[in-house]
Structure 1
């Protein structure tokens, strides 16, 4: 039907151009941002899933940093206890030497002097080894390992690893104190108190050998627990890394644009827009046929 008021062909062409222009705009937005989903309108369900995955990934990434920091803290404590063991072994050597009948009293006095100096360093290491400004092995109230520690190893509330070394640490303090007579070992930082008599005589030196063996064993027990915790945290890190990678891949499949596919869509939309524009021009010329009927 020829009509001056209604041009069906023009309306159809305009609708087609509008739809094509909308698709072209979406394609250009996706190619510009790199995301397939730029608003909830693009994929409501996909956006909800991707947001949950992204939140989980972020939490697990933070947990990975937590495990690395925790391992560093444990390694700091382990390094201090390694040096503590070396000192105790030297103290045991001195006690064994002083227990021998060939040693003279002046010899034992010199040995006791070194023994006391080593005791002071034991106090220094145990009471002052710290991480982030907080002591790790001391008997001070804020010491890290004096109470149970909760390591956050995941993005969920229940993903917590608890490490309790308080009993082993208290035993270690007791056993280290037993290696000294007169000259006091102190896990709270008191250095150089008293005059040492631990290896001043052959009999006392002989008694110290067993006490030092016990002290070395108690330090080893703490180190063993620390090593086990560090190993577990390392496995936690590896597992989190695997989960983060796969979760990011899943989120990417929802959110990221396929550039090859979207580029083809954009080219198709551009060609359709050009064709639609040309047809709109042609459809507008139909109204001129009405005038030819009136001539």
Structure 2
């Protein structure tokens, strides 16, 4: 009876030590996993919150990316519009100078050369202002909707870009109605007669070849400048709107990221301290099992002796 009682007592100690070892080992493994992942274990409620917040952040980031791309497109267009406006401003200055009938032939020739070169440059800028392979100012862009899908109501912003080429600004072939004082009045009209006041004359392109041509060019350039400035105003207003939208989305992203970080906050120092404690318990359990085993063998030897 005494032998069996001793064996049962030692077996109980061994079983208890083994249980403590298993518990400590599990905690060590969990602690090491948390340290490796860099995040705490979450309860079901926190897991649900993290899932919702990640979904919200994904939608906000996508919306922010969409708006930023549209803003970049408009800023590219704005640069092109500004360049076209600069060219038109210089063309107007030249047209004003050329409207003077007292210009020498050499002076007018120099102005004509500069004017024609700038006209080509204007058309080049309008036809080569592009974003991500999309032409913006050559008349092919038209109007497009930017759809912003945030966490609430979907917002749609329309972007429309005008044709700022020579054709779009009506600076190419056109007709002119002759007014009193026009130098072409009385000249051969190519149809067996001469031009009279009120006649319509076809002009191949805006030019400053004469004072009258310069006056006509000036009127057409003024109209083109008005068109370009209206375009610049519209583009700038859209850019400002996108700036506010980007700022708002950025604030929402930051707040959601901070809230998510609070839930997933991981105190590595505290976890390392817990790991050390669990490892001590694990080693203690191992020592208890070894001592129980050794004691059992010693008792059995004494009883047998």
Q: Give the TM-score, by structure 1 length.
A: 0.75
Give the distance between the partners of 2:235 and 2:166, measured in 1 at CA: 16
Q: Judging changes above 3 Å, is the alpha-carbon distance between structure 1 residues 181 and 205 closer, same or farther for their aligned structure 2 residues?
A: farther
**CA distances 1:246-267 after superposition (whole Å, capped 9, x unpaired):** 3233223333421122112112
Q: Judging changes above 3 Å, is the alpha-carbon distance between structure 1 residues 138 and 149 closer, same or farther for their aligned structure 2 residues?
A: farther
**SS of residue paired to 2:278:** helix
Give the distance between the partners of 2:165 and 2:204, measured in 1 at CA: 22
Contact 1:95 1:199 in 2 (8 A): yes
1:230 aligns to 2:225 (yes or no): no
Corresponding residue number in structure 1 for 2:34: 30
* Structure with more strand by fraction: 2
Q: Judging changes above 3 Å, is the alpha-carbon distance between structure 1 residues 44 and 3 closer, same or farther for their aligned structure 2 residues?
A: farther
Cα deviation for residue 283 of structure 1 reads 4.3
Give the distance between the partners of 1:197 and 1:61, measured in 2 at CA: 49
Contact 1:165 1:222 in 2 (8 A): no
Number of matched residues? 273
Cα deviation for residue 220 of structure 1 reads 1.4
Greater mean deviation of Cα atoms: 54-63 or 257-266:
54-63
Structure 2 unmatched runs, 5+: 176-202
- What is the 5 A alignment of 1:52-71? 52-71=52-71
Structure 1 unmatched runs, 5+: 184-193
- What is the 5 A alignment of 1:73-222? 73-103=73-103, 111-140=111-140, 143=141, 146-150=142-146, 152=148, 156=151, 159-166=154-161, 169=162, 176-177=169-170, 179-181=171-173, 195-196=204-205, 198-222=207-231
**SS of residue paired to 1:176:** coil
**SS of residue paired to 2:5:** coil
Cα deviation for residue 123 of structure 1 reads 1.8
- Bigger CA radius of gyration: 2
Cα deviation for residue 27 of structure 1 reads 0.8
Greater mean deviation of Cα atoms: 110-119 or 244-253:
110-119
Superposition RMSD on alpha carbons, in Å?
A: 3.5
Give the distance between the partners of 1:197 and 1:68, measured in 2 at CA: 39
**CA distances 1:84-125 after superposition (whole Å, capped 9, x unpaired):** 111111221122222234236776565445433332222222
Q: Give the TM-score, by structure 2 length.
A: 0.73
Give the distance between the partners of 2:220 and 2:6, measured in 1 at CA: 113
1:49 aligns to 2:49 (yes or no): yes
Counterpart among 264, 269, 277 of residue 273 in structure 2: 264
